[in-house]
């Protein structure tokens, strides 16, 4: 009855993505430390952190929705992962999986906010308000970049886009799509929650934003979710603009290249305030996005 091969493949992919995602988080911390002339933590540090959080002997819960939020977020990022064509095998696909993945990558944010709101902490409330405003602001350039891609390739299927790129060269070699990539990269920074747009968690400004009440096992779940999310987002970027990959190693190299651009931007820019971020997203990335869309018409 069950398709055992599919289930095993899905489990294998989730384990691989979680592990690599944790290593990516470690690379992020290590690279930022090196940029500030520090030695920094070992690269497997996020795994230790998650283990420690799992080993806490007490967990505070504020009710059902509070527990459900992180699980919902983790589920959404795992679903997004399963729709991605990771190195020539894709577990699920639909006729419009570009749109599906693009929106599944935003659902985790909603899950975290759902849980955070039910904790009743005013810092979480401020974080949620900022998070929702960032999400609204970044939709416009994000959508424009995706429209430029879809118009150029004439397909909503990720596997088609990868196949076309392997025939005609990577997307970033096309001038219009290069502009779209710049737009996507700016939005990407906000999707990862990295520096110019890390308004949502805003460490040290509003405590920890939505995550302020999460501790123990809940925080471990959020860490795992962040790892899967990081893997899925970098893979999505590599698939859309860097021509996908035919094997895992190639994909890994491309993902790390994408990650390093994000880290370099993040470690030299200070944080925007939320009104500046909303204004910024509706100004330069939107203009560039419209140019990209017009060029692909």
Partner 1 sequence: MSENDGFISYELQEFKLFEPLFRWARKKSLWIVAFCTGCGGIEMPPLFTARYDLERFGMMPNPAPRMADLFLITGYVTPKTLKRIIITYEMMQDPKYVLAHGSCPINGGVYWDSYNVVKQLDKYIPIDVAIAGCMPRPEAVMDGIREIMRKIETGEADGWKRYRENYEWYRKNQDELFGEGWREKDAKRWLAWL
Q: How far is the CB of 213 from partner 1 (least distance, A)?
A: 6
Query: Among 84, 219, 259, 292, which residue sits at the site for partner 1 (rule: CB under 8 A)?
Result: 219
Q: Applying CB under 8 A, does 143 fall inside the site for partner 1?
A: no
**Cβ proximity to partner 1, 38 vs 168, nearer residue:** 38
Contact 200, 273 (CB under 8 A): no
State which residue, 29 or 271, has the beta carbon closest to partner 1: 29
Interface map 57-76 toward partner 1 (x if CB under 8 A): xxxxxxx-------------
Closest approach, Cβ 12 to partner 1, in A, equals 23
Shortest separation between residue 135's beta carbon and partner 1, angstroms: 22
Interface residue with partner 1 among 213, 242, 254, 285 (CB under 8 A) is: 213
Does position 40 interact with partner 1 (CB under 8 A)? The reply is: yes
For residue 51, state whether it binds partner 1 (rule: CB under 8 A). Answer: yes
Closest by CA position to 16, among listed 107, 86, 121, 63: 86
The size of the chain, in residues, is 297
Residue 13: half-sphere exposure toward Cβ, Cα within 13 Å: 26
CA torsion angle for 288, 264, 234, 255 (degrees, to 10)?
Answer: 120
Residue 182, helix vs strand vs coil: helix
* Contacting residue, 8, 12, 38, 279, with partner 1 by CB under 8 A: 38
- The DSSP 8-state label assigned to residue 212 in this structure reads G
Q: In this complex, which beta carbon is closest to partner 1, that of residue 152 or of residue 214?
A: 214
Select from 54, 132, 178, 182 the one that contacts partner 1 (CB under 8 A).
54
Cα-to-chain-centroid distance, residue 264: 17
Residue 8 buriedness (CB in 10 A; 0-12 / 13-18 / 19+): exposed
Interaction of residue 204 with partner 1, rule CB under 8 A: yes
Q: Are 144 and 213 in contact (CB under 8 A)?
A: no
Closer CB to partner 1, 67 or 185, in the complex: 67
Question: With contact defined as beta carbons under 8 Å apart, do 180 and 290 qualify?
Answer: no
Q: Which of 139, 163, 215, 295 binds partner 1 (CB under 8 A)?
A: 215
Min separation Cβ 122 and partner 1, Å: 13
263 binds partner 1 (CB under 8 A): no
Q: Which is nearer to partner 1, 100 or 117 (CB)?
A: 117
| Burial call 128-159: b when 16+ CB within 10 Å, e when fewer | bbbbebbbebbebbbbbbbbbbbbbbebbbbb
Can you give the binding site for partner 1, defined by CB under 8 A? 29, 33, 36-42, 45, 48-49, 51-63, 203-204, 207-208, 211-217, 219
């Amino acid at each position: 009855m069950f398709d055992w091969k599919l289930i095993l493949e899905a489990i294998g992919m989730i384990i691989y993505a979680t592990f690599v995602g944790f290593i990516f988080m470690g690379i992020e911390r290590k690279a930022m430390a090196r940029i500030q002339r520090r030695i920094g933590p070992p690269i497997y540090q996020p795994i230790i952190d998650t283990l420690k959080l799992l080993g806490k002997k007490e967990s505070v819960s504020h009710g059902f929705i509070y527990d459900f939020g992180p699980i919902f977020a983790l589920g959404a990022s795992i679903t997004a992962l399963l729709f991605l064509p990771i190195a020539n095998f894709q577990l699920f696909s639909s006729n419009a999986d570009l749109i599906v993945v693009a929106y599944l990558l935003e659902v985790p944010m909603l899950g975290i906010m759902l849980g955070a709101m039910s904790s009743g902490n005013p810092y979480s409330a401020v974080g949620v308000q900022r998070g929702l405003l960032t999400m609204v602001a970044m939709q416009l350039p994000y959508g424009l970049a995706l429209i430029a891609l879809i118009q150029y390739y004439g397909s909503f299927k990720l596997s088609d886009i990868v196949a076309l790129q392997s025939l005609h060269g990577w997307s970033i070699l096309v001038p219009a799509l290069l502009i779209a990539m710049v737009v996507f990269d700016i939005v990407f920074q906000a999707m990862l929650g990295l520096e110019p747009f890390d308004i949502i968690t805003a460490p040290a400004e509003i405590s920890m934003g939505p995550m302020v009440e999460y501790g123990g096992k809940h925080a471990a779940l959020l860490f795992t979710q962040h790892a899967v999310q990081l893997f899925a987002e970098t893979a999505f970027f590599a698939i859309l603009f860097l021509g996908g990959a035919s094997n895992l190693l190639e994909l890994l190299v491309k993902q790390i290249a994408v990650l390093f651009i994000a880290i370099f931007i993040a470690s030299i820019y200070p944080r925007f305030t939320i009104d500046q971020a909303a204004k910024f997203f509706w100004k330069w990335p939107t203009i560039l996005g419209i140019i990209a869309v017009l060029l692909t018409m």
